[in-house]
Each structure stands twice: as structure tokens, then as C-alpha cells.
Structure 1
């Protein structure tokens, strides 16, 4: 597993998530651990290294 730190697009708090580098490109939704709003997470790995990461708000 790979721990990645980033800012929540809603509350701007620093949070961390565990990412699975065995899946090269993925998109999923996870709630912020601080404000509980849904964040669309899109990490991309190459040779088990994180090469791209996007965390965006889901307008509701």
C-alpha cells in the first residue's frame, strides 16, 4: 500500500489515503475523513510509483 497526503477540495484540510499500486489506473469515490464530503479520487501508478493523482469535489 502507498500512503498519499493531499488537501480535501471542500474543507482544505490535509488528509491521507492508502492507495493500491497494484492497480495501475483507477477512479473511485471516498468521503473526506474530516468533513465527510465525497471526493473523486484518481491515482495512476507506473512500476509501483505514483505518477499522477487527482482529488476533486463531486458537485451535488
Structure 2
């Protein structure tokens, strides 16, 4: 697993997520561990190296 730190798009706190480099392209939703609001993640790996990461708010 790969730990990646980023800033929550809602509360701006620095948090981390665990990413699985065995899956080359991932899109999923996970709640912020600080403010509990949903974050949409887009993650891309090439040869087990993180090449793309986006964490954005879900407009409701």
C-alpha cells in the first residue's frame, strides 16, 4: 500500500489515504477523516508509481 498526503477540499486539513498501486486506474469516494464530508478520488499508477492524484469535493 502507498500512503499519500493531501489537503481536504472542504476543511483544508492535511490528511492521508492508503492507495493500492496494483490497480492502475481508480475512482472512488471516501469521507474525510476530519470533517466527514465525501471526497471523490481519481488515482493513476504506472509501474507501481503514482502518476496522477486528484481529490475533489462532491457538489451536492
TM-score w.r.t. structure 2 length? 0.98
Structure 2 unaligned regions, length at least 5: none
Corresponding residue for residue 31 of structure 1: 31
Corresponding residue for residue 5 of structure 1: 5
User: Aligned-residue CA RMSD in angstroms?
Assistant: 0.3
Corresponding residue for residue 45 of structure 2: 45
Structure 1 unaligned regions, length at least 5: none
Instruction: Tell me, in whole angstroms, the C-alpha distance in 2 between the residues paired with 1:39 and 1:49.
Output: 22
Q: Secondary structure at the match of 1:17?
A: strand
Number of residue pairs matched by the alignment: 60
Aligned-residue offset at 1:38:
0.1
Q: Provide runs of 4+ in structure 1 moved above 4 Å.
A: none
In the TM superposition, what whole-angstrom CA distance separates every residue of 1:11-44 from its partner, at most 9, and x where no partner exists? 0000000000000001000000000000001110
Instruction: Tell me, in whole angstroms, the C-alpha distance in 1 between the residues paired with 2:16 and 2:57.
Output: 16
